[in-house]
Amino acid sequence: MDKRYIGAITLAPLLIFLFLGGYYLKYLVLVLALFGMYEFYKTSRECDFNPISIVGYILCILYYLAIGDGFNITYQSFLLIGAIFILMIVPVLNTKYNFIDVSLTIMGYLYVAIFFSFIILVNLKQYGNYLVWLIFISSWGCDTLAYYFGRYLGKHKISPKVSPKKTVEGSIGGLIGSIVGCTIFGYVIGGYGVNIPIYHYVIIGVLGGIFGQFGDLVASSIKRYAKVKDYSNLIPGHGGILDRFDSILFVSVIVYYYITIFVGI
């Protein structure tokens, strides 16, 4: 069996946690975030940097424990500023570390732990048990059609220095996959009392299709700089957590802010 399909089967339990939502989804995402941060810090070390990973992990756990009803963004601000304040002192006390290591420590926390958390924050919103699926439908729809469009029609490279296999045709296919998936999903959940005009789903599909691909390319650019093929071999045929969830990280941010600002929920 193709390793890609084995990897997809490995990820299937995620669907159960999406249905369950609440604390089940929260703590699954926490585990994914911790694994993702480990991969990010491990990849950073391939470039002879030395992020202070234990601080990143502690920040991640404290942040996720605070997420829930009545979540206060002020807490997150104090947590982040306090961590930066302390981390900036570390290179003075221990010259094993420098300001780049401090920056990468915070970057891993923001890029992986915070971006992952938007899955939970969407789930906590009104209709969140439905809307959280948009993150995955957009990303998976984009990935699927991008793969097949690129495989059978791809001729023009979109960013050969970052990801040599990505093509313009594949990118267009990915955008179509995201739009179609989100739009159909919008029609379906409209029948379950989710009163959101359908054009919002189309726009989310467009934005998710665009920025999800940027998320993929961002992850590829980091790997290319570090000269690694995959972040890890945790998922057969897909590499690591960041290899599989790279686009989801960006789409989750897009979905959260779009429904917050433009849908008003």
Per residue in 217-231, pLDDT (tens digit) is 999 999 999 999 899
Tally Cβ neighbours within 10 Å of residue 195. 9
pLDDT of residue 1: 46
Nearest to 163 by CA among 144, 150, 152: 150
Backbone phi, psi, residue 157, to 5°: -70, 140
**Cα–Cα distance list, 128 to 42, 61, 109, 162, 174 (Å):** 34, 23, 24, 35, 25
Q: Kindly report the CA angle at 183 between 10 and 118, in degrees rounded to 5?
A: 55
Determine the structural domain holding residue 231 and report its residue range. 3-263
Using pLDDT thresholds of 50, 70 and 90, give the confidence band for residue 9: low
The rounded Cα 7 to chain-centroid distance in angstroms is 17
pLDDT of residue 185: 97
d(CA 165, CA 177): 19
* pLDDT over threshold 80, residue 166: yes
* pLDDT over threshold 70, residue 23: yes
Q: Which pTM does this prediction carry?
A: 0.93
Question: Is residue 194 classed exposed, middle or buried when 0-12, 13-18 and 19+ CB atoms within 10 A define those classes?
Answer: middle
3-state secondary structure of 98: coil
Q: What is the tally of structural domains in the chain?
A: 1
Mean pLDDT of 237-262: 93
Token readout for 55 is 């601080």
Q: Which helix (H) or strand (E) holds 109?
A: none
Instruction: Identify residue 222 by its one-letter amino acid code.
Output: I
Lowest mean pLDDT among 41-50, 103-112, 118-127, 155-164: 155-164
Using pLDDT thresholds of 50, 70 and 90, give the confidence band for residue 154: confident
